[in-house]
Amino acid sequence: MKTRAIPLLLAAVLGLGTLTPAAAQAAADRTPVPRPVPGSADSVKSAKSANSTAPTSSADPGGPPLETPVATLAANLACSADLADSARTPVLLTPGTVESADQAWSWGYQKVLREQGHAVCVIEDLPDSGTTDMQVTAEYVVYALRRMHEVSGRKVSVIGHSQGGLLNAWALRFWPDLAGKVDDIIGLGAPHSGGLFGDLACVAGRCPDSAWQFKASSDFVKALIREPLAAGPSFTSIGSDTDEVIFPAPGATRFPGAANLQVQQLCPGRLVGHMGQLFDAGVHALVADALDHEGPADLNRADRGGCSRYWFEGVDEAKMAAGILIVKDILAAFLDVRWVDKEPALKEYAARG
pLDDT of residue 326: 62
CA distance 202 to 342: 9
Which pLDDT does position 328 carry in this prediction? Answer: 58
Inter-CA distances, 30 with 227, 310, 319, 320, 327, Å: 46, 22, 8, 11, 15
Position 303 scores a pLDDT of 97
**Do the Cβ atoms of 226 and 220 come closer than 8 Å?**
no
What pLDDT shows up at residue 181? 98
Q: Which residues contact 29 (CB under 8 A, 6 or more apart)?
A: none
Task: Locate the domains of the chain by residue range.
Answer: 3-34+43-352
Q: Provide φ and ψ at 125, rounded to 5°.
A: -150, 140
Query: What gap in Å lies between CA 339 and CA 60, rounded to an integer?
Result: 32
Report the interhelical angle of 317-324 vs 21-28 (nearest 10°). Answer: 70
Q: What is the CATH number of domain 3-34+43-352?
A: 3.40.50.1820
DSSP string, 5-35: GHHHHHHHHGGG----HHHHHHHHTSPPPPP
- H or E segment to which residue 261 belongs: strand 259-262
* Residues 194 and 218 sit within 8 Å (Cβ to Cβ): yes
Hey, how many other C-beta atoms are within 10 angstroms of the C-beta on 84? Answer: 17
Residue 53: count of CB within 10 angstroms of its CB: 9
Closest CA to 158 of 134, 181, 127: 181
The full DSSP string for 130-164 is: GTS-HHHHTHHHHHHHHHHHHHHSS-EEEEEETHH
pTM assigned to the model: 0.86
| DSSP 8-state symbol, 100 | B
Whole-angstrom distance, CA of residue 349 vs CA of residue 165:
20
Residue 24: CB atoms within 10 A of its CB come to 13
From first to last of its 353 residues, the chain has per-residue pLDDT tens of 343 443 343 334 333 344 333 333 333 333 233 233 333 334 445 433 433 334 434 445 579 999 999 999 999 999 999 999 998 999 999 999 999 999 999 999 999 999 999 999 999 999 999 999 999 999 999 999 999 999 999 999 999 999 999 999 999 999 999 999 999 999 999 999 999 989 998 999 999 999 999 999 999 999 999 999 999 999 999 999 999 999 999 999 999 999 999 999 999 999 999 999 999 999 999 999 999 999 999 999 999 999 999 999 999 998 888 777 765 566 566 667 889 999 999 999 999 87
